[in-house]
Amino acid sequence: MIWLISLWGILIREGLRFMGQKERMVSALLRPMLWLVIFAAGFRAALGVAITPPYDSYITYEVYILPGLVGMVQLFNGMQTSLSMVYDRETGSMRVLLTSPLPRWWLLACKLIAGALVSLVQVYVFLLAALAFGVEVPALGYVAALPVLFLTGLMLGAAGLFLSSAIRQLENFAGVMNFVIFPAFFLSSALYPLWKVAESSPLLAHLAQFNPFTHAVEAIRFALYLDVSPSSLAWVLGSLAVFSALAVWGYDPSRGFLARRVME
């Protein structure tokens, strides 16, 4: 019972924090909408043919990048979660959390679940906004994508948790974001299909195939259009396991980055 109480407590805490940060919701909605409305206007003619499964007909550029922008929302939310961990560590509240009698991996898992649920709220608000601009997916796609979105939210949140374990000061977080978020986003299939990238740079296309964010976007893309990409889901699950293990190691006071910080 105490495990469920801890999960509920962390969910309530993250929910209240999210509700108290209205600018976080505005930025989560405004950022992808700018890409959808303004960026797509200049590239609408770039993708006029079928791109990749599950598409079997002509699509607009806005329809193609919609899953990538959904991934963007979750990527930034995962980094925002890691930012809150750095802040909690500086204020001391995280130390109180991690010294509870519950296993450290469970506390981090609760944090991941809370972050993934917050990202789901942001994603579906964005999808409603995109629908208002005429960018829509099959009605059942909104439901079919829910478990995949939760899974990708967990994976990106785990990556953020691992990064937060290595960040010593809040001021260093902006630099980490520039070296993680933007390469992960642009070196993926979020804005353009990989076969198009391969025409000009085969090396970049191969690198993008090893980018976990690429497979998160593809898993979301297939799910929104009522299809499944087993390889992308396998990548997401594998990345979730790796990032989660690294996060637990990073927050281990005897072996991870916290241990090094104490020794210093």
pLDDT tens digits for range 101-122: 778 788 888 888 988 998 999 9
CA distance 78 to 73: 9
What pLDDT is attached to residue 96? 63
CA distance 155 to 218: 14
What pLDDT is attached to residue 42? 63
- What confidence tier does 199 reach under pLDDT thresholds 50, 70, 90? confident
190: Cβ–Cβ under 8 A, 6 or more apart, which residues? Answer: 65, 67, 68, 69, 71, 72, 213, 214, 217
Average of pLDDT values for 187-202? 81
Write down the residue that tokens 């499964």 correspond to. Answer: 53
Residue 263 has pLDDT above 50, yes or no: no
What pLDDT is attached to residue 48? 45
**For residues 224-254, b (16+ Cβ closer than 10 Å) or e, as one string?**
bbeeebeebbebbeebbeebbebbbebbbee
Nearest to 124 by CA among 148, 152, 149, 157: 149
- 229: tokens are 């990409």
- What confidence tier does 217 reach under pLDDT thresholds 50, 70, 90? very high
Average of pLDDT values for 22-28? 71
CA distance 192 to 199: 12
What pLDDT is attached to residue 221? 92
Residue 232 has pLDDT above 70, yes or no: yes
What pLDDT is attached to residue 30? 80
CA distance 235 to 233: 5
Residue 261 has pLDDT above 60, yes or no: no
Residue 93 has pLDDT above 60, yes or no: yes
Cβ pair 191, 221 in contact under 8 A: no
Q: HSE-up of 239 (CA within 13 Å, CB side)? A: 23
Residue 172 has pLDDT above 60, yes or no: yes
What pLDDT is attached to residue 186? 87
CA distance 22 to 30: 12
130-145 per-position pLDDT tens digit: 888 888 888 899 999 9
CA distance 237 to 69: 21
- What confidence tier does 196 reach under pLDDT thresholds 50, 70, 90? confident
Average of pLDDT values for 225-254? 89
What pLDDT is attached to residue 170? 61
Cβ pair 163, 176 in contact under 8 A: yes
What pLDDT is attached to residue 108? 84
- What confidence tier does 55 reach under pLDDT thresholds 50, 70, 90? very low
Length of the chain, in residues? 264
Nearest to 220 by CA among 196, 189, 242: 189
In this prediction the pTM is 0.84
